[in-house]
């Protein structure tokens, strides 16, 4: 049989750091602070809705090369998805502003250069992918920043695909604004949401896209001819959960009010704890995640084991799993290859964790802290 070569568009996207880090975390019995899943149950009303959907109606068990601008850091599936669709990714980078000595960085300091962003738009640009709140930095784009993106999209007749799965998880009084709500943007925007992130049920794998029918009809065609649909019970449970939330929306009893308050406390706990061993968290405005600066470690121990060309953050994460029993995700995987070496001094943590996980983390960090003493 003749040797079969894979399509060139798959080059470089077949290696999966998620699998590697998760496997190592299991092997070394590490506290997994890397992956973005809550290790606590969804709210009772969501579970009850799912149980009802499973047991009530038996019919729910039946069928019911364009250039694409990607703002980095980006969730790592955006690039391979663009390539698989035959598109050509064009990257524009959020850049951190300098901070004062001893002051923690904030995700709000990571900003687009308006001139650089504008330079990425050409006659071949067909779409821009936006993620707010951002994974992995936790940046919530301000209305002024969104207006900059919106004006360029309208000027160049570009579709905006906006990933807003963390829209309910915003902290410190910041406000999430959907770019589709800005003048002239509804008709050119696809807004992506997630029940998994909204209701802490990431295994349900139920999501949605909002937008004008002129765009959504094409998504329906692709969806219908690929996975067709997800389990109907999950969709029914999500619909009932939203109906529940609509009755409480904006009130203290709302899950969308209570959940971010609880997760902000978890965020603050983890930030304080990680600082005790010399990690420097970048305070997020939203999402499940923050990144932490490991520059000091890179200076003190630059020659960690690993492949010659392997970014430092990947080597550091493996070292931390093996030697400190803590798992994180290297931030360089959220960048295009040419830019990975410029951001390999950050690692990503997920703080949407149960109290028992945070306690286990503290025990590991306390041991690490004791090892640092002369």
In this prediction, residues 213-231 reach a mean pLDDT of 85
DSSP β-ladder status, 31-32 and 326-327: parallel
* Tally of CA atoms within 13 A in the half-sphere of 340 that contains its CB: 15
Per the document, the length of the chain is 374
How confident is residue 57, by pLDDT bands cut at 50, 70 and 90?
Answer: low
Find all residues with CB under 8 Å of 277, minimum gap 6, and list them.
365, 368, 369, 372
For residue range 236-286, list pLDDT tens digits in order. Answer: 999 999 999 999 999 999 999 999 999 999 999 999 999 999 999 999 999
Residue 111 bridge partners (DSSP): 95
Q: What are phi and psi of 128, to 5 degrees?
A: -130, 135
Sign of CA dihedral 130, 134, 137, 140: positive
Higher pLDDT among residues 2 and 306, named by residue: 306
Tell me if 338 sits within 8 A of 72, measured CB to CB.
Answer: no
Alpha-carbon distance 323 to 249, whole Å?
45
Instruction: Using the predicted structure, report yes or no on whether residue 115 has a pLDDT greater than 70.
Output: yes
* Tally of CA atoms within 13 A in the half-sphere of 23 that contains its CB: 5
* Range with the poorest average pLDDT among 49-58, 139-148, 335-344, 360-369: 49-58
Neighbours of 45 (CB within 10 A): 17
Q: Nearest-CA neighbor of 245 among 199, 192, 193?
A: 199
Instruction: Using the predicted structure, report yes or no on whether residue 292 has a pLDDT greater than 50.
Output: yes
State percent of the chain over pLDDT 90. Answer: 72
Tell me if 166 sits within 8 A of 287, measured CB to CB.
Answer: yes
For residue range 293-319, list pLDDT tens digits in order. Answer: 999 999 999 999 988 889 999 999 999
Q: Nearest-CA neighbor of 94 among 144, 129, 128, 139?
A: 139
Confidence (pLDDT) at 349 = 98
Confidence (pLDDT) at 19 = 67
Higher pLDDT among residues 230 and 111, named by residue: 111
Average pLDDT, the chain: 90
Confidence (pLDDT) at 40 = 79
* Strand residue runs (E) in the chain: 31-32, 67-72, 88-93, 95-96, 110-111, 125-131, 159-163, 189-194, 207-210, 280-281, 289-293, 326-327, 329-330, 346-350
Q: The whole model's pTM is what? A: 0.84
In this prediction, residues 218-230 reach a mean pLDDT of 83
Alpha-carbon distance 54 to 236, whole Å?
9
How confident is residue 7, by pLDDT bands cut at 50, 70 and 90?
Answer: low
Alpha-carbon distance 154 to 48, whole Å?
44
Higher pLDDT among residues 44 and 159, named by residue: 159
Confidence (pLDDT) at 6 = 54
Expressed in percent and rounded to 5, the helix, strand and coil fractions of the chain are: 45, 15, 40
Q: Nearest-CA neighbor of 282 among 353, 345, 198, 372?
A: 345
91 three-state secondary structure: strand
Tell me if 241 sits within 8 A of 233, measured CB to CB.
Answer: no
Question: DSSP string of 107-132?
Answer: GGGEE--HHHHHHT--TTEEEEEEES
Confidence (pLDDT) at 8 = 62
For residue range 8-28, list pLDDT tens digits in order. Answer: 665 665 566 666 777 777 788
Confidence (pLDDT) at 58 = 55
Confidence (pLDDT) at 3 = 52
Confidence (pLDDT) at 288 = 96
Higher pLDDT among residues 326 and 234, named by residue: 326
In this prediction, residues 327-333 reach a mean pLDDT of 97
Confidence (pLDDT) at 230 = 80
């Amino acid at each position: 049989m003749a040797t079969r070569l894979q399509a060139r568009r798959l080059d470089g996207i077949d290696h999966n750091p998620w699998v590697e880090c998760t496997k190592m975390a299991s092997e070394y019995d590490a506290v997994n602070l890397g992956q973005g899943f809550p290790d606590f149950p969804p709210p009772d009303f969501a579970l009850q809705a799912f149980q009802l959907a499973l047991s009530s109606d038996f019919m729910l068990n039946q069928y019911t090369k364009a250039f694409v601008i990607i703002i980095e850091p980006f969730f790592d599936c955006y690039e391979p998805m663009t390539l698989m669709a035959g598109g050509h990714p064009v990257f524009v980078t959020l850049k951190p502003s300098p901070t004062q000595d001893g002051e923690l960085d904030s995700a709000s300091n990571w900003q687009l250069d308006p001139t650089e962003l504008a330079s990425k738009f050409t006659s071949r640009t067909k779409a821009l992918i936006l993620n707010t709140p951002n994974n992995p930095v936790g940046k919530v784009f301000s209305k002024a920043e969104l207006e900059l993106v919106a004006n360029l999209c309208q000027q160049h007749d570009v579709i905006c695909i906006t990933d807003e799965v963390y829209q309910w998880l915003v902290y410190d009084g910041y406000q999430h604004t959907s770019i589709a709500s800005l003048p002239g943007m509804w008709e050119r925007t696809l807004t992506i949401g997630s029940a998994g992130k909204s209701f802490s049920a990431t295994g349900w794998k139920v999501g949605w896209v909002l937008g004008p029918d002129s765009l959504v009809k094409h998504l329906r065609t692709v969806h219908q001819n690929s996975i067709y649909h997800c389990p109907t019970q999950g969709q029914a449970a999500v619909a009932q959960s939203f109906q529940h939330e609509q009755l409480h929306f904006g009130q203290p009893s709302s899950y969308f009010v209570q959940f971010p308050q609880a997760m902000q406390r978890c965020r603050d706990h983890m930030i304080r704890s990680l600082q005790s061993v010399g990690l420097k968290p970048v305070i997020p405005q939203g999402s499940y995640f923050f990144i932490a600066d490991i520059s000091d470690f890179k200076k003190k121990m630059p020659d960690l084991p690993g492949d010659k060309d392997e970014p430092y953050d990947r080597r550091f994460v493996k070292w931390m799993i093996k030697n400190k029993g803590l798992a994180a995700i290297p931030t360089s995987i959220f960048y295009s290859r040419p830019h990975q070496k410029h951001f390999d001094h950050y690692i990503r943590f997920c703080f949407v964790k149960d109290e028992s996980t945070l306690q286990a983390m503290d025990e590991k960090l306390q041991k690490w802290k004791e090892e640092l003493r002369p």
